[in-house]
């Protein structure tokens, strides 16, 4: 059993800790032996080292020093030589695999990889250099140094993008900074952990790592990639950590592992990016290209997001919680009575007999005829979504059944590792049992399942896969997402979920939302940072709780938040009641309706951009630099974004009617007023009647349609094109991707 230095259950794991302890044995990546340039495989010699304390002028520090083995019998290698290899997946993707110990466990198929990986033949054969070999494609170069071991990645013009950092490379007086490319062996459990250290250049910026709520540029941060119920959107915990990042220097990396990972991105040592892995092997994919090219490469490997059904792009109305048929029908009636466009009513934790006790059955006392209710709502164009979780408390009627059938996670002794029975999705029998329950709900007419939680698989658990929680904890959300999406597609013919937790590959199963948001201005901004970060991690679609989740939404905040929420791919009002617009002032309801109608009018644009984004593996909510990578200012901005390729959005994050906005090169047309602005400058721009700033690229043609109460009622024969020019807004011509016919349609 592995030893972890955490203070509470499911605390994020800082994998860097052992590399800074004096009782850990370190092995430095020193030199390459037995290298075959044809197969691109060989062995790395790892130099045995230790941390030696030194007192100097009233201060203790530790230095890395080579050491001799004192192990018995003496046949244990002093400086082991272990295999590694280099391969090429595409002209833009290289793969580096390194082992630090002999493999005994059978390698399992990866759920993160969506396709069979084949060898790309466009890279040149190995060219000998003074100290190793170099391989080239039309997009980049990989150089291998043998003595000492070194990897350098260059662009096609020879510019160094990044390179590994070794104990010979240090310029610091204290040679443990940065931690060199090495592995650590624990004296507590003999486990190996890897530190893969790469250089960071002056001014280099790093983005991605999942749905991170902290600063968009991750340089200067230490990030633990460990799925955890954040209970907030203003901490460094993540519901959706993703072991992927991209750089402003035109490259990206994917760490192909489900083990705990800590990224130290220039925090401990400014010029170094260290990937700490709680794993005895490293499988690293390196991507060459600009941000859009890197995202396309990464999602070609791990899967692209399919376009969800059209109705999912409409408004979802929810709260904690609608708990009766009468209440649900009343909400549906008032939505139409007040002419509020909406497509989904979500029932959260209260549709069971006991709130939160998930048994997959509607309450018999509060829902007279749920099947008929769902049918009636469907006739109005409204779908129903249901909440559930994969955890079963002792009072749940399925608790003992799941234990008796062996469908739950256990501890090493075969007992429950926590108070709950936790579904073991690595067991095909568990998946079948679970999907049978979900299928019955879908057959009743339910359109979507909310896959809540999933971040709490115990690290000391034992799973049917044969793996411990060390490898299954982060993988659990991906298994969970897949189980829900697969059964929904099988029964309804539509692949859609509403999930909180995720891991690499989960983008194949949209949609994901941003968790439990505070009702504050700063939380609203944190939601945008999270949206941009997960979009830069391969996820095309994303949502969040409009107005905040935790408490009743202040009207002024909710008013400003609503248009921001409408200008995300998926829009849901959810959280502590009330969330319904008629519970607020008459003017608020007018503004709420206007924001919702704006989204429905933009539905041809949204669906077209969704189709294009899914094809490319790009997000619908885009960081500014995705559209303007040559503009250095765009790399610094985290409070405005592109919605698709042509609409720049700047929400109001404080109680005001205007804000400072950065306009990139070109001309920009105010979506609401038609005012034209010159680009490459900061301007204070007043929001329109809808409290948000929206600007369209001059020259863009945006398809619109008349607003309808649901997407079912949209008349797709009446799509029109609006041209945004240097003179303002006029009628235009263009095309859009038709959601019903699934083809491009010209509009003149």
Catalytic residues: 452, 455, 516
User: What is the residue-wise DSSP string for 409-424?
Assistant: -B-TTSS-SSSSEEB-
Separate counts of helices (H) and strands (E) for the chain: 12, 41
Bridging pattern class, strands 315-317 and 571-573: parallel
Helix (H) or strand (E) holding 428: helix 428-443
Angle, alpha carbons 710-617-219 (nearest 5°): 115
Is 286 in a helix, a strand, or coil? strand
Q: Count of residues for the chain?
A: 748
How many Cα neighbours within 13 Å face the side chain of 308? 26
589 and 555 Cβ atoms separated by less than 8 Å: no
Q: In angstroms, rounded to a whole number, what is the distance separating the alpha carbons of residues 600 and 605?
A: 10
Q: In angstroms, rounded to a whole number, what is the distance separating the alpha carbons of residues 101 and 587?
A: 67
Long-range Cβ contact pairs of 435-444 (< 8 A, separation 24 or more): 435/483, 435/486, 435/487, 435/490, 437/360, 438/360, 438/388, 438/484, 438/487, 438/488, 439/487, 439/490, 439/491, 440/360, 441/360, 441/386, 442/487, 442/488, 442/491, 442/492, 443/491, 444/370, 444/371, 444/374
* Strands lying side by side in the sheet with 127-128: 127-128, 132-136, 140-145, 150-155, 160-163
* Number of C-beta neighbours around residue 77 at 10 A: 13
Q: In angstroms, rounded to a whole number, what is the distance separating the alpha carbons of residues 543 and 511?
A: 8
* Number of C-beta neighbours around residue 157 at 10 A: 7
Q: In angstroms, rounded to a whole number, what is the distance separating the alpha carbons of residues 166 and 614?
A: 39
Long-range Cβ contact pairs of 360-368 (< 8 A, separation 24 or more): 360/388, 360/437, 360/438, 360/440, 360/441, 363/323, 363/324, 366/323, 366/324, 366/325, 367/324, 367/325, 368/325
**Token representation of residue 396:** 């749940």
**Token representation of residue 552:** 């009743």
**Token representation of residue 190:** 């003999």
Bridging pattern class, strands 720-725 and 728-731: antiparallel
Bridging pattern class, strands 448-451 and 383-388: parallel
First to last CA, the chain: 68
DSSP assignment, residue 11? P
The residues, any chain, with a CB within 8 Å of residue 517's CB and separated by 6 or more, are 233, 523, 524, 526, 527, 544, 545, 548, 549, 550, 575
DSSP assignment, residue 507? G
Specify which residues 65 forms β-bridges with. Answer: 50
Q: In angstroms, rounded to a whole number, what is the distance separating the alpha carbons of residues 265 and 212?
A: 14
Q: In angstroms, rounded to a whole number, what is the distance separating the alpha carbons of residues 374 and 10?
A: 38
User: What is the residue-wise DSSP string for 538-553?
Assistant: T----B-EET-SSSPP
**Token representation of residue 165:** 């950092």
């Amino acid at each position: 059993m592995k030893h972890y230095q955490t203070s509470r259950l499911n605390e994020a794991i800082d994998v860097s800790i052992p590399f800074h302890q004096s009782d850990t044995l370190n092995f430095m990546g020193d030199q390459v032996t037995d290298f075959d340039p044809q197969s691109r495989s060989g062995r790395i010699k790892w130099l045995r080292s230790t941390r030696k304390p030194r007192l100097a002028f009233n201060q203790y520090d530790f230095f890395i020093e080579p050491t001799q083995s004192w192990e018995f019998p003496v046949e244990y290698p002093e400086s082991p030589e272990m295999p590694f290899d280099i391969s090429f997946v595409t002209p833009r993707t290289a793969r580096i695999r390194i082992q630090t110990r002999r493999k005994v466990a059978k390698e399992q198929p990866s759920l993160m990889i969506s396709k069979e990986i084949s060898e790309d033949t466009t890279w040149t054969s190995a060219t000998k250099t003074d100290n190793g070999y170099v391989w080239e494609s039309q997009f980049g170069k990989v150089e291998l140094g043998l003595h000492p071991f070194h990897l350098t990645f260059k662009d096609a013009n020879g510019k160094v993008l990044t390179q590994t950092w070794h104990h010979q490379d240090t310029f610091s007086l204290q040679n443990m900074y940065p931690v060199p490319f090495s592995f650590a062996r624990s004296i507590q459990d003999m486990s190996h952990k890897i530190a893969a250290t790469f250089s960071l250049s002056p001014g280099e910026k790093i983005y991605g790592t999942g749905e991170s709520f902290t600063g968009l540029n991750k340089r200067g941060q230490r990030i633990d990639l460990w799925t955890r119920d954040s209970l907030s959107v203003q901490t460094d915990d993540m519901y959706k950590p993703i072991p992927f990042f991209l750089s402003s220097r035109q490259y990206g990396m994917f760490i192909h592992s489900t083990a705990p990972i800590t990224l130290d991105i220039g925090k401990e040592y400014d010029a170094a990016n260290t990937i700490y892995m709680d794993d005895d092997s490293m499988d690293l994919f390196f991507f060459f290209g600009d941000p859009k090219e890197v995202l396309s490469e990464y999602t070609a490997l791990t899967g692209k997001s399919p376009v969800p059904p059209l109705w999912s792009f409409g408004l979802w109305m929810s709260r904690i919680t609608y708990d009766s048929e009468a209440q649900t029908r009343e909400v549906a009636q008032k939505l139409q009575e007040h002419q509020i466009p909406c497509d989904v009513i979500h029932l959260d934790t209260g549709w069971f007999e006991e709130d939160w006790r998930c048994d997959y059955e509607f309450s018999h006392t509060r829902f007279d005829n749920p099947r008929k209710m769902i049918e009636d709502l469907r006739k109005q164009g409204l779908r129903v979504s249901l909440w559930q979780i994969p955890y079963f408390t002792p009072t749940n009627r399925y608790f003992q059944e799941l234990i008796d059938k062996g469908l739950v996670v256990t501890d090493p002794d075969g007992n429950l590792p926590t108070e709950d029975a936790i579904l073991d999705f690595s067991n095909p029998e568990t998946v079948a049992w679970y999907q049978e329950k979900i299928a019955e709900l879908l057959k009743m007419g339910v359109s979507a399942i909310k896959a809540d939680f999933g971040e709490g698989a115990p690290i000391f658990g034992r799973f049917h896969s044969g793996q411990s929680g060390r490898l299954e904890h982060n993988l659990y959300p991906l298994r969970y997402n897949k189980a829900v999406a697969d059964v929904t597609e099988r029964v309804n013919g539509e692949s859609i979920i509403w999930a909180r937790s995720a891991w690499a590959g989960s983008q194949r199963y949209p949609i994901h939302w941003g968790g439990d948001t505070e009702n504050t201005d700063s939380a609203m901004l944190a939601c945008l940072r999270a949206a941009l970060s997960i979009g830069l991690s391969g996820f095309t679609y994303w949502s969040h709780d409009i107005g905040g989740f935790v408490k009743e939404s202040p009207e002024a905040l909710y008013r400003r938040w609503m248009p921001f929420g409408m200008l995300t791919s998926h829009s849901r009002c959810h959280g502590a009641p009330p969330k319904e617009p008629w519970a607020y002032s008459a003017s608020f309801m007018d503004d709420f309706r206007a924001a919702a109608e704006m989204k429905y009018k933009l539905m041809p644009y949204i669906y077209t951009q969704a189709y294009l984004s899914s094809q490319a593996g790009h997000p619908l909510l885009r960081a500014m630099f995705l559209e303007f990578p040559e503009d250095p200012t765009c790399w610094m901005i985290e409070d405005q974004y592109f919605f698709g390729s042509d609409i720049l959005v700047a929400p109001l994050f404080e109680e005001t009617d205007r804000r400072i906005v950065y306009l990139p090169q070109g001309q920009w047309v105010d979506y609401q007023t038609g005012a034209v602005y010159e680009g490459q400058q900061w301007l204070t721009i007043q929001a329109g009647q809808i409290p948000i700033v929206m600007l369209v690229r001059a020259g863009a043609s945006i398809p619109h349609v008349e607003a309808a109460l649901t997407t079912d009622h949209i008349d797709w024969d009446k799509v029109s094109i609006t041209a945004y020019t240097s003179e303002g807004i006029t009628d235009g011509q263009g095309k859009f991707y038709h959601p019903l016919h699934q083809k491009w349609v010209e509009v003149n």
